[in-house]
């Protein structure tokens, strides 16, 4: 398999784009090439007005089973600080449109960190999630020790990172990593259904709500409320606000244009 087809990009109905990690022989291990294809695809989706939601998925055996150790085994201390993969993860986290992870099978190490970098995770029965990096002499290095405790709390994050134990789909749902659990093989279809619901709403309002929620993780309550009100105020001058209010009062479906 060449490096050109390790990410499959497909546009479907409801202004949705699917990015499928496609290194099945490696359980979608995240090498530099794959991570940057994901990052570049998100950069392209960012400016595509026809795309309102992006779904990131793998295959039935693995969302992504971690970093590619064939690359990481020779990384030096200095190299770890300048690793371009960190920039790719940052691009994922800074993507302004809704990003849904549809997880089947393994989501481990960098694969779980990629899941955590998405806005919403839908996890299928039989999935195994974890940050087992300590088993190979390192630790989570792409946000795992920072994002995970913000989502699941200190105790669960410590248990996962220090023991290297995996958690199930049920545990991922109960601790807040997953928003929804589906039957095995059903994660992508559930993500498509959710994307359809999201895409029906005003795009700029959806992006503003996402930005406000993400901002809450890095601000005090007072600062967060101020940020929320500022985003709310900006929406009052949009065409979509005018259209949405009129459509509701006229009892018809809105025609949102993202402006």
User: Does the pLDDT at position 192 exceed 50?
Assistant: yes
Q: Which domains are present in the chain?
A: 3-199 (3.90.226.10), 203-249 (1.10.12)
pLDDT of residue 3: 59
Q: How many CB atoms lie within 10 A of CB 60?
A: 13
H or E segment at 140?
Answer: none
Per the prediction, the chain carries an average pLDDT of: 95
Contact criterion met (CB below 8 Å) for 2 and 40: no
Active site residue ranges: 67, 110, 113, 133
Rounded Cα–Cα distance for residues 67 and 73 (Å) = 10
Task: For residues 235-252, give the mean pLDDT.
Answer: 96
pLDDT tier, 243 (very low <50, low <70, confident <90, very high otherwise):
very high
Report percent pLDDT > 70 for the chain: 98
pLDDT tens for residues 39-86? 999 999 999 999 999 999 999 999 999 988 888 787 788 877 878 889
Rounded Cα–Cα distance for residues 49 and 187 (Å) = 26
pLDDT of residue 74: 79
pLDDT of residue 83: 80
Handedness of CA 83, 85, 89, 90 (dihedral sign): positive
Rounded Cα–Cα distance for residues 160 and 164 (Å) = 5
Rounded Cα–Cα distance for residues 52 and 201 (Å) = 9
Task: Tell me the sheet residues that pair with 126.
Answer: none
User: Does the pLDDT at position 2 exceed 60?
Assistant: no
User: Does the pLDDT at position 1 exceed 50?
Assistant: no
H or E segment at 181?
Answer: strand 180-182
């Amino acid at each position: 398999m060449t490096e050109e087809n390790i990410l499959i990009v497909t546009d479907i109905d409801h202004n949705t784009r699917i990015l499928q990690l496609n290194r099945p022989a490696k359980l979608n291990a995240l090498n530099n090439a794959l991570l940057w294809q994901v990052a570049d695809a998100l950069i392209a989706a960012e400016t595509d007005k026809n795309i309102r939601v992006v779904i990131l998925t793998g295959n039935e055996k693995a969302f992504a089973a971690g970093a590619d150790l064939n690359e990481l085994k020779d990384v030096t201390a200095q190299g770890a600080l300048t690793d371009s993969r960190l920039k790719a993860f940052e691009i994922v986290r800074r993507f302004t449109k809704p990003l849904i992870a549809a997880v089947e099978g393994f989501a481990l190490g960098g694969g779980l960190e990629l899941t955590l970098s998405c806005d919403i995770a839908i996890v299928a029965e039989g999935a195994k999630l974890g940050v087992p990096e300590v088993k190979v002499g390192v630790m989570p290095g792409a946000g795992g020790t920072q994002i995970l405790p913000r989502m699941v709390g200190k105790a669960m994050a410590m248990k996962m990172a220090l023991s290297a134990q995996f958690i199930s789909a049920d545990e991922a749902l109960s601790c807040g990593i997953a928003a929804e659990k589906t039957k095995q093989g059903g994660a992508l279809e559930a993500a498509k259904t959710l994307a359809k619901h999201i895409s029906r709403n005003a795009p700029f309002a959806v992006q503003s709500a996402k930005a406000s929620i993400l901002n809450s993780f890095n601000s005090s309550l007072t600062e967060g409320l101020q940020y929320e009100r500022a985003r709310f105020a900006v929406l009052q001058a949009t065409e979509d606000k005018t259209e949405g209010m009129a459509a509701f009062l006229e009892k018809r479906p809105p025609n949102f244009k993202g402006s």
